[in-house]
Amino acid sequence: MTPARTAHQQRFLHRYGPWAVVTGASSGIGRALAGRLAEAGLNLVLVARSRPLLEALAAQLSSRHSVQVSVLDLDLARDDQLAELRAATDHREVGLLVAAAGFGSSGPFLDADLVSETEMLMVNGRAVMQACFHFGRRFRAQGRGGLVVLSSIVGFQGMPYAAHYAATKAYVQALAEALQVELSDCGVDVLAAAPGPTRSGFAARAGLRLGKALDPEAIAQPILEALGRQATILPGALSKLLTYALVPLPRWARVRIMGQIMRGMSRKD
């Protein structure tokens, strides 16, 4: 039997349902957000590269929360990714996009692999922009909806030894801030979630050693609760601490300090 939903969950379902699209749903924050959305009663289109992981998650969520879950194994770095995403979602009444897919790298920029860095730009930047453009237009036409994008605390200044990753997150942060204003009179809510270090597969792919890190499950609900209430959220005490501690400093000082932190975290150094 499906548990009774709270008044907040019912309002959330009414405003952003009945379907939500979640990219990067196979792990980390994307997976945690998908779970919270299913708990609120939204049907889901889960997007990631690994079909087995998506199918396992879909079976779990549909069984536990009595929602419909569709999966799309898609590499968002591909040129045709938007066409495939549209084909999988245009026939569904989507009211929410959660663009959580992304990856990073660490180490000196000029020592990086150019192919991988270009793929990062496609996933972290182009795919987010195209999804926001497509679903933003749909939501504007229907007079309601929400866009949630994953920024990062590294997007508020340059980040030596993760220069390109930070630049992609600065793009996402700036895009979300502007769209929040542009779409506020159209019934469309926009939120940039800017977490600090988080326990997921991100660190392993980026080649980082993490000490203290956020739990994706602990920050998923605060992110969703911020949608429609603010433009940016720093989920979790660690994100706030790492960001607000640097606020009084000039930008050049923040860049140097963040570079020292990142250099110490990099396994390549």
Pair 124, 168: CB distance under 8 Å: yes
**Phi, psi angle pair for 210, to nearest 5°:** -105, 135
Can you tell me the distance from the alpha carbon of 174 to that of 171, in angstroms, rounded to the nearest whole number? 5
Are 265 and 249 in contact, with CB atoms under 8 Å apart? no
For the purposes of burial, counting CB atoms within 10 Å of the CB of 83, is it exposed (0-12), middle (13-18) or buried (19 or more)?
Answer: exposed
Contact 66, 2 (CB under 8 A): yes
The C-alpha atoms of residue 63 and residue 45 are separated, in whole angstroms, by 15
Catalytic residue, from 16, 169, 240, 244: name it: 169
3-state secondary structure of 269: coil
Beta strands in 151-237 (DSSP E): 188-193, 232-233
Pairing of strands 145-150, 232-233: unpaired
Among this protein's residues, is 165 annotated catalytic?
yes
Concerning whether 169 is annotated as a catalytic residue, the answer is yes
- CA 203 remoteness from chain centre: 15
What are residue 76's phi and psi, to 5 degrees? Answer: -70, -5
- Catalytic member of 161, 165, 212, 240: 165
The span from the CA of 16 to the CA of 259, in Å, is 39
Under 8 Å between Cβ of 80 and 126: no
Q: Which residues are catalytic?
A: 165, 169
